[in-house]
Amino acid sequence: MSLPWDQAADLFTAHLADERRMADKTVETYTAALAEFAAFYLAHAPTDDARQVTADDIRDYLADLYDRNKAASIAKKLAALRSFFAFLKRQKWVDDNPARAVKTPKVRRTLPAIVSVDEALRLVAPHGDDTPQDIRDRAILEMLYGSGLRVSELVALNLDSIDHESRIVRVLGKGSKERLVPVGSHAARAVDNWRRVRTDILRRGHAPDAHALFISREGTRLSVRSVQRMVRARGLETGTRESLHPHALRHSFATHLLSSGADLRAIQEMLGHASLSTTQRYTHVSIDALSRVYDNAHPFAQQPPRMSAAADKHTNTAATAPQGDPNEASTK
């Protein structure tokens, strides 16, 4: 029995959204990857049967991508195909996962950008005349850096997401997984200031998104793109970075916690990572911090260790003792 590609792709997409509860953006990424492969495969294959796809078909597809895609992008497309065929195998619609036999292209890992503590202070410092927009933007920056939120998580916050007594924010992360993250005193004050200004905006009659914490001048919930633009502009204004992304503040949150001695598992929980290895990629410890640890902990870091008096005497005696004739020693 054949399995038409479109039917298989629809079943897989429904599985991602309904059973695995993946974020809409992730589902869209997987769907686009499958559609791109299908366009290539169906242009060459005699059938649209998903069960007939081989590892060589996938290799041919990846080879076609190399001229116009980076290795990281190709690796993501291959990961989508592996997940798709793994699903078909679990449903017993295919015997093997052909994508498993295809080697993942080598991806050069780069450290994500971070800001220093001084740069973070400049970013959240007051700018301008304390306009409602400036007060709101400071609260956003404080939450991004102070609680390590993803920008999509930040714009999804509602008024009741933050418990101001316990200073805890309830975050709905990837896969609709909820987590609780501490809110620092600076961020809590900034959000309180914004809430008072926000009330004035709503009194003007603009209330299309009355429950959203961060809203525009028209009362609508802020979009991810608008926050990205604001962060980039603030980075330019403060001379922090020419192209500053909100995710850099999330990276900085994790890195600065780790540099100050926080437990990696605790950071993982706050970031909402399913895997500890993901957290490790997000964190960098500065070379200065590593050097300080080495200098303070390693016995050879500062100067060579002194020998004991007995060992020192033995070394000096051995150095001054007559060595004899090496030729004589060799004939004995």
Of 41, 61, 145, 282, which one is the catalytic site residue? 282
Q: How many CB atoms lie within 10 A of CB 195?
A: 16
189 is catalytic: no
Cα dihedral angle (204, 205, 207, 211), rounded to 10 degrees?
A: 60
- Separation CA 200–CA 128 (nearest Å): 19
Query: What span, in angstroms and rounded, lies between the C-alpha atoms of 208 and 279?
Result: 37
Q: Which of 174, 195, 232, 245 is catalytic?
A: 174
229 belongs to the catalytic site: no
The structure tokens 């700018």 sit at 127
Contact indicator for 209, 215 with CB cutoff of 8 Å: yes
Q: Is 182 helix (H, G, I), strand (E, B) or coil?
A: strand
Determine which one of 250, 251, 256, 284 is catalytic. 250
Candidates 138, 150, 198, 234; catalytic one:
150
Catalytic choice (138, 198, 273, 284): 273
Q: How far, in Å, CA of 88 to CA of 226, rounded?
A: 39
Q: Which amino acid is at 254?
A: A
Quick check: is 234 catalytic?
A: no
Question: Has 30 been annotated as catalytic?
Answer: no
Please report where in the chains the tokens 């009330």 appear, as a residue: 199
Tell me if residue 61 is catalytic.
no
Separation of alpha carbons 165 and 178, rounded Å: 19
**Which of 15, 59, 170, 247 is flagged as catalytic?**
247
Q: Is 250 marked active-site? A: yes
**Catalytic sites, residue numbers:** 150, 174, 247, 250, 273, 282
